[in-house]
Amino acid sequence: MLSRDCFDGSISFFRPHQYLAREGDDQSHVFLIQEGWACRYRLLPDGRRQITALFLPGDWCELAWTHGEPPAQPVVALTNTRAMAVSCAQIRRECEVRPDLRAGLWSEIVTSIHRQTEWIINLGRKSAIERLSHLFCELFQRLRNSGLTYGDQFAMPLTQIEIADVTGLTPVHVNRTLREMRARGLVELQSKWLRIGDLDELRRIALFQASPSLTADNALPKVMLARA
């Protein structure tokens, strides 16, 4: 396991809707999300929004910036968010001399590619209930890997509009699908908490196949990156 002093970073705080990064801006730091949720998105000229990634506690946002490319899409906080800003140059230097760190960072990149692939399949081929089921299965697994689930429950701050922006549905369709899922005993979303009633059935409906790269053992250790 890497030392807690592996990286130096400054702590930044963001309010809901505040930008972590704007499209096309020079980005000299990546963020390690410590508390709160953020998202990457694309806004169409007519105001429609597609959320293309969610960043949860323990996630990097975004490792692609270490290669010097400006953000292709903006990143905003969805909730009050605390993040550690780590210099891209520092990460590049450390990767040159630390094979274990380099392997860990590549594991994170592979994980994000697998996740993005599943999102494409969801949007292109799955029904509304399959899309929502997959989203909830993914969030449950990611948060459980970070120790942020409580039995069959987890904090889920996404609004129905934001869920619609993730899944490519209308808010009305999301509301109708959530009612159906609740009636079937699959999930219950109340007061910003989501309880999963039948995880096996939810996974079956979602056609959920967790990649090995999404497991906690293969992910880059994160706790050491947050200074006590």
Are 53 and 138 found together in one domain? no
215 versus 56: which is more confidently predicted?
Answer: 56
Q: What is the mean pLDDT of the chain?
A: 89
Q: What is the pLDDT of residues 108-163, one digit of tens each?
A: 889 899 999 999 999 999 999 999 999 999 999 999 999 999 999 999 999 999 99
- Which residues are within 8 A (CB) of 124 and not within 5 positions of it... i.e. 6 or more apart? none
Retrieve residue 2's tokens. 């890497």
Residue 4 lies in a domain: no
Predicted confidence band of residue 69 (pLDDT cuts 50, 70, 90): confident
Nearest to 201 by CA among 184, 188, 213, 215: 184
Predicted model pTM: 0.89
Are 46 and 142 found together in one domain? no
Q: What range defines the domain where residue 140 resides?
A: 127-206
pLDDT greater than 80 at residue 224: no
- Residue 40 sits in a domain whose CATH number is 2.60.120.10
Are 33 and 92 found together in one domain? yes
pLDDT greater than 70 at residue 194: yes
Residue 131 lies in a domain: yes
Nearest to 31 by CA among 3, 69, 59: 59
Total number of domains constituting the chain? 2
Question: Considering the chain, what percentage of its residues have pLDDT values greater than 90?
Answer: 73
- Residue 201 sits in a domain whose CATH number is 1.10.10.10
Are 96 and 139 found together in one domain? no
Question: Considering the chain, what percentage of its residues have pLDDT values greater than 70?
Answer: 89
Are 178 and 158 found together in one domain? yes
Are 92 and 160 found together in one domain? no
Secondary structure (DSSP) of 134-182: HHHHHHHHHHHHTT--BTTEEE----HHHHHHHHT--HHHHHHHHHHHH
Predicted confidence band of residue 105 (pLDDT cuts 50, 70, 90): confident
Are 168 and 189 found together in one domain? yes
Residue 217: what pLDDT?
43
Residue 222: what pLDDT?
46
Are 131 and 95 found together in one domain? no
Are 106 and 142 found together in one domain? no
pLDDT greater than 50 at residue 218: no
Are 14 and 100 found together in one domain? yes
Are 220 and 112 found together in one domain? yes
- Count of Cβ atoms closer than 10 Å to residue 205 Cβ: 20
Residue 196 lies in a domain: yes
